[in-house]
Amino acid sequence: MQFSLNSSDGSKGNPRSGFLRLDDNISCFVYPLGGNVGEVSLVRALLYIIAQCLGAICGVGLVKGFQSAFYVRYGGGANELSSGFSKGTGLAAEIIGTFVLVYTVFSATDPKRSARDSHVPVLAPLPIGFAVFMVHLATIPITGTGINPARSLGAAVIYNNEKAWDDHLLFQ
């Protein structure tokens, strides 16, 4: 089984077009470790998913080890649904936030886009960063912004709080 994200003309996109290539739900299944553009076997995709999740767990473990006071103060970085919001509202916020980010990444890195062929193609990270900023402004008060499933999993595993696990499916 192969996954392919080629453009309609068969050309492949630029795998290094932005720092946050697809740092969201789509990345867990297609581009988990920085953008292998083209076809990815099912085994390789599963290995990438496992590697990204293990990396997130190790990263949160390092933060807990080196910055324990901040780690405890900020709940281990684990995403939780804020009080006063239903799970449906939290799920809608995560879906919309992820859509905005994915749409922006695909738009900014589209190889057919004439602006990408200009003398300043390095500007693609600007709209992506702005989209991440805007999604965070909108969803931090609701869910803490879990637009990266691996990051949400790593924080939940290390923090291991009942509330974080109760709401965890919202971020996957």
pTM of full prediction above 0.75: no
Model confidence at 109: pLDDT above 90: no
Phi and psi, residue 75, nearest 5°: 65, 30
* Tokens representing residue 100 in the block: 């905005």
Indicate the domain borders of the chain: 2-171
Residue-wise pLDDT tens digits, 8-18: 444 344 333 33
Helix 87-108 vs helix 125-139: angle between axes, to the nearest 10 degrees? 170
Name 74's bridge partners. none
CATH architecture for segment(s) 2-171: Up-down Bundle (1.20)
What is the b/e burial string over 104-142, where b = at least 16 CB atoms within 10 angstroms of the residue's CB? bbeebbebeeeebeeeeeeebbeebeebbeebeeebeeb
Residue-wise pLDDT tens digits, 42-56: 899 899 999 999 999
Q: What is the pLDDT of residue 146?
A: 85
Cβ partners under 8 Å of residue 102, min gap 6: 22, 24, 25, 26
Q: Identify the residue whose tokens are 């990438």.
A: 48
- Number of Cβ within a 10 Å radius of residue 162: 7
